[in-house]
């Protein structure tokens, strides 16, 4: 079988650290072109824009998008209009409406689409999901705290409208929780803490529930000055399940469990390969909807200015 010829749009930190190594390690894909306005990608043809890539570049079957969410909608639309399969890095768009429109356009074009909620592919997630399937859940506590200066140095777009602020990492936790839980979640209340000189929150507290009134709470912090805290603890009648290190570690009642050895982005691209082969799509909107609802119902508290 011929490999899927892949184009990549955006060659920043996430593309360099995660996407390109995962693509190059998977023989089902061949990276043939990159569109970037920054540092070029070695070993492939580079173009200044997606339009230039589509018009003058090598033939591609699919395109992966690693640009910031603001402005991404029009780029993905352009690729879909050209009949390309699309993989879209999280968060897929700057607004829920844009993401919904992409779901519909993928369906109309008859191609495959993937909103790449990469944290769902962390090593412990599927084992956790299997264990939870037959348990009676009582409560969920999410703590997702990291230092923006470490993970997004100098990336001002995060603090601009549409940049999501602390929800840029927080949406990873929401993507895991919504994958683990059987019923949809709804935001009951939120407190968003916004620096005086920014448009997006640097921290947030969220209270959610499902139709059975499961108590789900999340604490997000993007100015966490020490080791990252990426944990989800789920209390059940039958025991306590805990995911740490963003889902890389799984324990039940304090006992470490065996998990997958496959990395997140390796699993993302394996899934994308299967979707293309099956002529299917996976474009879940629930994590982005929870973020949108948090902004919609959340109270805002001004906090001290943030400087990178």
Q: 33-75: per-residue pLDDT in tens?
A: 999 998 999 999 999 999 999 999 999 999 999 998 889 999 9
Same domain, residue pair 233 and 269 = no
Q: DSSP letter string over 40-84?
A: PPTTSEEESSHHHHHHHS---SEEEE-S-STTHHHHHHHHHHTT-
Same domain, residue pair 84 and 185 = no
Q: Which residues contact 260 (CB under 8 A, 6 or more apart)?
A: 123, 124, 126, 127, 267
Whether 34 is in a domain gets the answer: yes
Whether 163 is in a domain gets the answer: yes
pLDDT in tens, 229-267: 999 999 999 999 999 999 999 999 999 999 999 999 999
Same domain, residue pair 138 and 152 = yes
Question: What is residue 308's predicted lDDT score, i.e. its pLDDT?
Answer: 85
Q: Write the CATH number for 152.
A: 3.30.360.10
In the predicted model, what is the mean pLDDT of the chain?
Answer: 96
CB atoms within 10 A of CB 255: 8
Whether 284 is in a domain gets the answer: no
Whole-number CA gyration radius for the chain: 19
pLDDT in tens, 138-194: 999 999 999 999 888 888 889 998 889 999 999 999 999 999 999 999 999 999 999
Same domain, residue pair 128 and 155 = yes
Whether 308 is in a domain gets the answer: no
Same domain, residue pair 109 and 168 = no
Question: What is residue 154's predicted lDDT score, i.e. its pLDDT?
Answer: 85
Same domain, residue pair 124 and 144 = yes
What domain range includes position 48? 4-118+265-279
Question: What is residue 108's predicted lDDT score, i.e. its pLDDT?
Answer: 97
Active-site pick, 13, 90, 145, 279: 90
- The whole-angstrom separation of Cα 50 and Cα 11 is 12
Same domain, residue pair 19 and 113 = yes
145 classed as catalytic: no
Question: What is residue 15's predicted lDDT score, i.e. its pLDDT?
Answer: 95
What is the average per-residue pLDDT within 84-97? 95
Domain count across the chain? 2
Whether 285 is in a domain gets the answer: no
Same domain, residue pair 128 and 225 = yes
> What is the β-pairing status of strands 4-9 and 62-65?
parallel
Question: What is residue 49's predicted lDDT score, i.e. its pLDDT?
Answer: 96
Same domain, residue pair 82 and 42 = yes
Question: What is residue 262's predicted lDDT score, i.e. its pLDDT?
Answer: 93
pTM summary value: 0.94
Strands of 203-209's sheet in order across: 255-256, 249-252, 239-244, 229-236, 137-145, 215-221, 203-209, 186-195, 299-303
């Amino acid at each position: 079988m011929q490999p899927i010829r892949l184009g990549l749009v955006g060659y920043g930190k996430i593309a360099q650290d995660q996407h390109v190594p995962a693509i190059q390690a998977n023989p089902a894909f061949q990276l043939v072109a990159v569109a970037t306005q920054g540092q070029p990608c070695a070993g492939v043809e580079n173009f200044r824009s997606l339009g230039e890539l589509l018009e003058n570049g090598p033939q591609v079957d699919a395109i992966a998008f690693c640009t910031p969410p603001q402005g991404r909608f029009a780029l993905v639309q352009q690729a879909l209009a050209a009949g390309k399969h699309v993989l879209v890095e999280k968060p897929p768009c700057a607004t829920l409406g844009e993401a919904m429109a992409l779901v519909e356009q993928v369906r109309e074009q008859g191609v495959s689409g993937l909103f790449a909620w990469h944290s769902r592919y962390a090593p412990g997630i599927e084992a956790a999901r299997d264990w939870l399937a037959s348990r009676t859940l009582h409560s969920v506590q999410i703590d997702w705290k990291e230092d923006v200066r470490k993970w997004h140095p100098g990336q001002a777009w995060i603090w601009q409208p549409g940049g999501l602020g602390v929800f840029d990492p927080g949406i990873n936790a929401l993507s895991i929780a919504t994958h683990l839980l059987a019923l949809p979640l709804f935001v009951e209340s939120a407190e968003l803490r916004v620096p005086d000189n920014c448009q997006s929150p640097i921290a947030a507290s969220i209270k959610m529930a499902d139709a059975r009134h499961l108590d789900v709470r999340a604490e997000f912090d993007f100015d966490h000055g020490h080791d990252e805290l990426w944990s989800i603890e789920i209390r059940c009648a039958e025991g306590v399940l805990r995911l740490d290190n963003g889902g890389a570690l799984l324990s039940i009642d304090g006992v470490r469990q065996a998990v997958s050895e496959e990395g997140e982005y390796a699993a993302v691209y394996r899934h994308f390969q299967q979707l293309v082969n099956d002529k299917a799509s996976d474009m879940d909107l629930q994590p982005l909807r929870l973020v949108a609802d948090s902004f919609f119902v959340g109270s805002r508290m001004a906090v001290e200015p943030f400087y990178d």
